[in-house]
Amino acid sequence: MSGSILYIDSDRFEQEVLKSDKPAILYFYSEDCPPCEVLAPIYEKMAEKYGDRIKFVKIMRQANRDLAKSLGVTGSPTLLFFRNGLEVGKRLSGFLSKPQVRTAIEGVLGDVLPPPELKKENCDVIILGGGAAGLSAAIYAARAKLNTILLEEGVPGGQAASTYHIANYPGTPGVISGTELIANMRKQAESFGARVEDLREIFEVKLQGPEKYVRTEDEEYYGKAIIIATGGKPKPLPAEGAEEFTGRGVHYCATCDGPMYQNRKVVVIGGGNSAVEEAVFLTRYASHVTIIHQFDHFQATKTAQEEAFKNDKIDIIWDSEVRKVHGEEHSLTGVTIENIKTGEIREIPTEGAFVYIGTQPRTEIFKGQVQIDDNGYIVASEDTKTNVEGVFAAGDVRTKPIRQVVTAAADGAAAGIMAERYITSQVKRIPVQVR
Ligand SMILES: Cc1cc2nc3c(=O)[nH]c(=O)nc-3n(C[C@H](O)[C@H](O)[C@H](O)COP(=O)(O)OP(=O)(O)OC[C@H]3O[C@@H](n4cnc5c(N)ncnc54)[C@H](O)[C@@H]3O)c2cc1C
């Protein structure tokens, strides 16, 4: 037992899960599994919150292979929900966020817990998002002696942490893993006094006026300035069945989910840098990788293309788009593609599809409060100022031509400095009381 989590082996599955008098959530995990490391603290937090209404059970997949196989669990982490001896709800697997897990639990319970009494926190700068932009902003703001709190809905990292290697960030030995780069940034921000808070899912923001407000599940934060650095998320594959198979064959992060495809065939959809580089990365695990791209040439850099062309585990299907994703209950069996020049339709057998067709900004919660362009990006230029005083937008979330780790970090620097200047100017503006 850890907190209210029960660790079991398959011999206790029937008693603890199928015969449980309350609903149960079963978490298959593995060792050396980065998405399991991300999920572990989320699971613990959920167990603290919902543990009296749903039983939280953990089981190691490698040590309980027969049970995993009988349940159709092929990868870690996988979450399954049971009630009265039957599986219910939607299973989740792969790289999971707190909102995804919370929503699934509430779906099984059939209601939402009322919010607890909220803790109040005051600070100078609230930074939303713990990717390269947010962490860089935290370094600059904290170093300027501002009381700085960074809120991240998962664990810090963002897109950079989902990249197995970054070869174009200056000042590294040449190539650095995204997780190492981000861990360094976090350490640096904390060394200057920034508070980096994990698992803070944001429910509400109020950006107008001199006092900015952010509400998470358990806290209310009040700050003098806000830096929005919520970045982007992958664009979903626009194909029939793609949503249904997400996490069960359709994936958006090769670093997170690639290891599940040891000696299996996968496809990669896309033709930019991310698609081509991640296809090469996937050849470490997969027996074969097919890249499906809608044009007759890649948009990736020459170096990335050369690596893919010379890799004999990779082949490429040009001029084609995925129309349908199909499979059995728990696993993918293939994708249907259409050649957009000839109209030919054919099926490509595969067990995994990794999608890299671009990203979209994460700005839903700011709509109506700050200027956002037609594509969903927050309108801000190089100085990261938005149309709202005291609100800055840094990194992939803002309107800009180049979205890279180094440009996100540069934005963070600008936003940290601009926030300090803004706060200082506000202090000067406070009228002196004449008595
Ligand atoms: C597969 C892939 C490969 C890439 N390879 C490279 C490369 O080799 N070199 C390179 O320079 N760039 C690369 N990029 C691009 C680069 O990763 C991004 O441009 C950069 O990381 C963006 O950083 P960011 O901080 O602006 O946003 P993100 O990295 O998206 O970070 C945003 C953070 O905000 C959090 N967040 C979002 N909404 C909320 C909320 N409501 N509450 C709390 N937290 C929230 C997210 O969880 C996330 O941690 C790659 C991108 C991808 C997807």
Summarised one tens digit per residue, pLDDT across range 335-348 is 999 999 999 999 99
Question: Are 400 and 366 within one domain?
Answer: yes
Residue 403 beta carbon below 6 angstroms from any ligand 1 atom: yes
Res 291: pLDDT: 98
Query: Could you give the CA distance from residue 294 to residue 330 in angstroms, rounded to a whole number?
Result: 28
Domain boundary among 81, 109, 137: 109
Question: Are 299 and 377 within one domain?
Answer: no
Residue 173 lies in a domain: yes
Greatest mean pLDDT among 29-33, 177-181, 220-224 lies in: 220-224
Residue 131 beta carbon below 6 angstroms from any ligand 1 atom: yes
Question: Are 407 and 302 within one domain?
Answer: no
Residue 244 lies in a domain: no
Res 431: pLDDT: 58
**Per-residue pLDDT tens for 101-142?**
999 999 998 876 676 789 999 999 999 999 999 999 999 999
Question: Are 173 and 89 within one domain?
Answer: no
Res 428: pLDDT: 66
Residue 303 lies in a domain: yes
Residue 241 lies in a domain: no
Using the mean position of ligand 1's atoms as its centre, give its distance from the Cα of residue 223 in Å: 24
Question: Are 226 and 123 within one domain?
Answer: yes
Question: Are 219 and 364 within one domain?
Answer: yes
Q: Whose CA is nearest to atom 17 of ligand 1?
A: 160
Residue 430 pLDDT more than 60? Answer: no
Residue 435 lies in a domain: no
Q: Whose CA is nearest to atom 51 of ligand 1?
A: 159
Residue 102 beta carbon below 6 angstroms from any ligand 1 atom: no
Structural domain total, the chain: 3
Domain boundary among 109, 136, 157: 109
Residue 242 lies in a domain: no
Question: Are 225 and 366 within one domain?
Answer: yes
Q: What is the CATH number of the domain that holds 206?
A: 3.50.50.60
Q: Whose CA is nearest to atom 39 of ligand 1?
A: 230
**Per-residue pLDDT tens for 234-279?**
999 999 999 888 877 898 888 777 878 989 999 999 999 999 999 9
Residue 422 lies in a domain: yes
Q: Domain limits at 81?
A: 5-109
3-state secondary structure the chain: CECCEEEECHHHHHHHHHCCCCCEEEEEECCCCHHHHHHHHHHHHHHHHHCCCCEEEEEECHHHHHHHHHCCCCCCCEEEEEECCEEEEEEEECCCCHHHHHHHHHHHHCCCCCCCCCEEEEEEEEEECCCHHHHHHHHHHHHCCCCEEEECCCCCCHHHHCCCCECCCCCCCCCECHHHHHHHHHHHHHHCCCEEECCCCEEEEECCCCCEEEEECCEEEEEEEEEECCCEEECCCCCECCCCCECCCEECCHHHHHHHHCCCEEEEECCCHHHHHHHHHHCCCCCEEEEECCCCCCCCCHHHHHHHHCCCCEEEECCEEEEEEEECCCCEEEEEEEECCCCCEEEEECCEEEECCCEEECCHHHCCCCCECCCCCECCCCCCECCCCCEEECHHHECCCCCCHHHHHHHHHHHHHHHHHHHHHHHHHCCCCCC
Kindly report whether the global pTM for this prediction surpasses the value 0.85: yes
Res 433: pLDDT: 56
Using the mean position of ligand 1's atoms as its centre, give its distance from the Cα of residue 62 in Å: 31
Q: What is the CATH number of the domain that holds 46?
A: 3.40.30.10
C-beta neighbour count of 91 within 10 angstroms:
19
Domain boundary among 355, 377, 409: 355
Task: Give the number of C-alpha atoms closer than 13 A to the C-alpha of residue 271, restricted to the C-beta side.
Answer: 16
Question: Are 94 and 65 within one domain?
Answer: yes
Residue 143 lies in a domain: yes
